[in-house]
Every structure is written in C-alpha cells, then in structure tokens.
Amino acid sequence: MSISEEVAFWSATRQAIAIREGEFTSRELLELIIARVERINPELNAVITLDLEQARKFADEADSKLEAGEEVGPLHGVPITVKDALETVGIRST
C-alpha cells in the first residue's frame, strides 16, 4: 500500500487512529517518514543518527500486537523522533 505524503502532516492521534482502523500499518507510516527524513534532512541537518533497524523492528512489533488483538495505548504504532540532546545508548548525541 502507498500512503499519501499528507499523512506525515496529520496529528499523531489521527495517525494512530488510522493505524488501528487498518488504513495503513505502523511499518508503512514509518517508511513514509523515513523517506521524508532522507529527502529533507540533508538540508536541515535536524537528525544526526537514524536507527532504522530498531525503528523497523518496533514498527513490526506494533503491527503484530494489533494483528494479535492486544490492547494498545492511544498512540500505539506512531513513529517518534528522540532529540539527540538526550543521551541514548548506541546513538550519537549533541
């Protein structure tokens, strides 16, 4: 499935509802966001490290929980960015 670029501008709540209702998966939303970051970040330099492997793992786990019918939180499956000013194991920080 291909997701419209406009989804990147939806609120996190709206994205989460769309994921729960099956409009798209967490993984599909993540791939849309990754593509935007890869296209825009070289000029902005807002993100210094992307842990794509871990992000994809979390997205797939989020999708699996929904498929299994597990109870999930209100923003379940919505990708986030953690500011690199916060020290995170294995990630460069500024």
Residue 86 has pLDDT above 80, yes or no: no
pLDDT (0 to 100) of residue 1: 62
Count of all residues that appear for the chain in the document:
94
* Higher pLDDT among residues 43 and 2, named by residue: 43
User: Is the pTM value of this prediction over 0.75?
Assistant: yes
How far apart are alpha carbons 86 and 75 in whole angstroms? 21
HSE-CB of 70 using CA atoms within 13 angstroms: 12
Answer whether 32's CB lies under 8 Å from 10's CB: no
pLDDT digits (tens, 9 = 90+) for 32-76: 999 999 999 999 988 888 899 999 999 999 999 999 999 999 999
Residues 69-93 have a mean pLDDT of 87
pLDDT (0 to 100) of residue 82: 81
Helices 52-67 + 12-20 axis angle, to 10:
50
